[in-house]
């Protein structure tokens, strides 16, 4: 493709303004392959303006506009192209007429344009209608499987791709998409087999190359970091100043499903008379396979938290909708910093479940028990409902409604320890995709929360939070998220404000 572009530019210098439109269209396809969509779109538009009305060139312009992020123009263009296609073409007599493959291809692309603009319901509706009219069309079925992935149904997508490949083993594109669906729910052996087969069939295909790149990245090590710091007023249980850093360093996969890891945790809170600190290090092992994630670790530490600890966790997506999870910890990092300051430690157990309908609706409920070494037992439950209110190519507006409640058995603890509390809240989040180029993107997100906190003996008092974040995704191997926020929350009837910064990072090495 690079040679094709170079040849076009050489010819254009030698014969400026004299190259025929089909040459410009060919160069446009090469530039699109090389991830230069704006240059490709300009050449496709020039070729069409000069009389190249071929289906291939007009489809090329659609994909160039999509890849360049010009979704409105892309949808308008593909809708006009689909309207121009007749179901059947050829001579007027029945024996010479034949099906027009471009009719289905244009309508399939029009449906995918809705999916890429985050209107998954409309994309699914259009593809279902096409599948009813052409039930064995591989292009339609592959597009429908892609929409299933976008809706959060990787198993359904995998089954659909597997059926396509079974009917057409030479379809390298379907194999590549199948591999990505398999990676979505950690079916690693099957994903590798599809990547190998696709690479053997069509190593130059852009979809095959992307699937291969995702597999290669998965085969490397991974570093996950979560950090934050805050400044508080009033009687916040985190102290006047607080900070934490938690990191996991995973090795490359061993025998597909196993990854040893190192886990480090540090947290500190400054109070009027002293500073509380937790420092712990752990080594562990994680197992992932077909939606099941198991992990276990042994830990130790210092600064009053040096006792030997252990933790185990499990999560299982039983299908594309239901998941269950559980965890148990000895020497839990979730012990309140004020309790740590008083010399106490804590053990923890938790369990939960959730149901994801699709990309627009989901709920979760989790319950936990924290046994603090002073004899106090804290029981808590937290339930959330997530609803997508609006979605377009660049904007997403989400609502999360949540309810939290807890109760403690000790009434005179030297840390914030309400006899019981109850807190309903609603969070509205607006995410704006500011910049996007293939696997690289930058988004901004603004979240606002309003609620009440009802503590036994003090009544219900308003709570609020405002958070602004930047989200960077760089070539699938680095994701960075950072933000600044303020939360206002009452403790023992007195409002406390906390300003904070947070950072989350996922880096992959291969």
pLDDT tens digits for 427-436?
999 999 999 9
Mean pLDDT across 460-483: 96
pLDDT above 80 for 365? yes
pLDDT greater than 80 at residue 98: no
Quick one: DSSP state of residue 254?
B
**pLDDT at residue 99, as a whole number:** 81
pLDDT confidence of residue 92: 57
The pLDDT score that the predictor gives to residue 220 is 95
Residues β-bridged to residue 400: 386, 427
Farthest CA pair distance, the chain: 95
pLDDT band at 97; cut points 50, 70, 90: low
Mean residue pLDDT of the chain comes to 94
Each residue's pLDDT tens digit, 295-334: 999 999 865 556 899 999 999 999 999 999 999 999 999 9
CATH no., domain 224-509:
2.40.160
DSSP 28-91: HHHHHHTT-HHHHHHHHHHHHHTT---HHHHHHHHHHHHHTT-HHHHHHHHHHHHHT--SEES-
Residue with tokens 């190192």: 262
Q: Give the pLDDT band (50/70/90) at residue 91.
A: low
Work out the average pLDDT over 246-266: 97
| pLDDT at residue 6 is higher than 80 | yes
Higher pLDDT, 365 or 93: 365
Mean pLDDT: which of 39-43, 129-133, 135-139 is highest?
39-43
Tell me the CA distances in angstroms from 246 to 258, 278, 331, 338, one per residue in order: 21, 11, 15, 19
Portion of the chain with pLDDT greater than 70, in percent: 97
Residue 96 has pLDDT above 70, yes or no: no
- What is the average per-residue pLDDT within 218-246? 94
The radius of gyration of the chain from alpha carbons, rounded to an integer in Å, stands at 28
The pLDDT of residue 400 is 98
Which one-letter DSSP state was computed for residue 298? Answer: E
Q: Buried b vs exposed e over 124-145: b needs ≥16 C-beta within 10 Å?
A: bebbeebbeebeebbbbbbbbb
Question: 259, 233, 262, 269: which is closest to 246 by C-alpha?
Answer: 262
Joined together, the tokens standing for residue 381 give 């439950």
Any idea what DSSP says for residue 455?
E
pLDDT tens-place string over residues 136-184 = 899 999 999 999 999 999 999 999 999 999 999 999 999 999 999 999 9
Is the predicted pLDDT of residue 349 greater than 60, yes or no? yes
Question: Is residue 483 over pLDDT 80?
Answer: yes
Q: What mean pLDDT is predicted for residues 12-30? A: 94
Tell me how far apart the alpha carbons of residues 434 and 431 are, in angstroms, rounded to a whole number. Answer: 9
State phi, psi for 156 to the nearest 5 degrees.
-60, -40
What does the pLDDT average to over 214-233? 96
- What is the Cα–Cα distance from 182 to 189, expressed in whole angstroms? 9
Task: Give how far Cα 160 sits from Cα of 107, 136, 153, 373, 508, Å.
Answer: 20, 12, 11, 53, 30
**Residue 224, pLDDT above cutoff 60:** yes
Distance CA 333, CA 265 (A): 8
Q: Report the DSSP beta bridge partners of residue 430.
A: 397, 446
């Amino acid at each position: 493709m690079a040679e094709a572009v170079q040849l076009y530019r050489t010819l254009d210098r030698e014969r400026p303004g004299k190259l025929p439109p089909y040459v410009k269209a060919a160069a446009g396809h090469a530039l699109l392959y090389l991830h230069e969509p704006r240059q490709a779109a300009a050449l496709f538009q020039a070729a069409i303006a000069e009389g190249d009305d071929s289906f291939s060139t007009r489809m090329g312009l659609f994909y160039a506009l999509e890849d360049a992020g010009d979704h409105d123009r892309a949808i308008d263009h593909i809708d006009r192209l689909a309207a121009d296609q007749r179901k059947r073409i050829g001579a007027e007599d029945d024996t010479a007429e034949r099906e027009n493959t471009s009719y289905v291809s244009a309508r399939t692309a029009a449906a995918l344009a809705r999916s890429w603009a985050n209107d998954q319901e409309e994309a699914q509706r259009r593809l279902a209608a096409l599948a009813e009219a052409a039930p064995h069309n591989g292009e339609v079925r592959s597009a429908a499987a892609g929409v299933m992935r976008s809706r959060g149904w990787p198993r359904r997508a995998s089954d659909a791709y597997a059926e396509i490949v079974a009917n057409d083993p030479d379809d390298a594109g379907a194999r590549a998409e199948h591999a990505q669906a398999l990676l979505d729910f950690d079916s690693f052996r099957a994903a590798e087999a599809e990547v190998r087969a696709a690479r053997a069939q069509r190593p130059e295909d852009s979809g095959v190359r992307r699937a291969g790149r995702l597999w290669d990245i998965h085969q490397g090590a991974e570093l996950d970091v979560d950090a934050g710091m805050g400044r508080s007023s009033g009687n916040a249980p985190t102290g006047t100043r607080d900070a934490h850093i938690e990191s996991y360093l995973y090795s490359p996969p061993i025998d597909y499903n196993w990854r040893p890891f190192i886990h480090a945790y540090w947290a500190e809170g400054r109070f009027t008379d002293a500073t509380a600190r937790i420092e712990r290090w752990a080594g562990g092992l994680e197992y992932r396979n077909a939606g099941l994630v198991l992990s276990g670790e042994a830990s130790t530490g210092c600064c009053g938290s040096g006792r030997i600890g252990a933790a185990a966790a499990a999560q299982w997506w039983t299908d594309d909708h239901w998941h269950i999870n559980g965890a148990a910890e000895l020497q839990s990092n979730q012990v309140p910093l004020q309790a740590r300051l008083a010399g106490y430690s804590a053990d923890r157990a938790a369990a939960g479940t959730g149901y994801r309908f699709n990309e627009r609706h989901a709920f979760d409920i989790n319950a936990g028990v924290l046994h603090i070494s002073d004899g106090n037992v804290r029981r808590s439950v937290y339930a959330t409902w997530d609803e997508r209110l609006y979605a377009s190519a660049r904007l997403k507006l989400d609502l999360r409604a949540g309810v939290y409640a807890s109760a403690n058995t000790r009434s005179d603890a030297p840390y914030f320890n309400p006899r019981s509390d109850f807190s309903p809240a609603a969070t509205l989040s607006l995410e704006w995709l500011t910049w996007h180029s293939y696997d690289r993107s930058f988004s901004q997100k603004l979240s606002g929360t309003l609620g009440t906190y009802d503590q036994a003996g003090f009544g219900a008092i308003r709570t609020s939070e405002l958070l602004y974040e930047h989200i960077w995704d760089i070539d699938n191997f680095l994701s960075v998220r950072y933000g600044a926020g303020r939360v206002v929350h009452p403790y023992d009837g007195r409002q406390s404000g906390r300003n904070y910064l947070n950072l989350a990072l996922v880096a992959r090495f291969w």
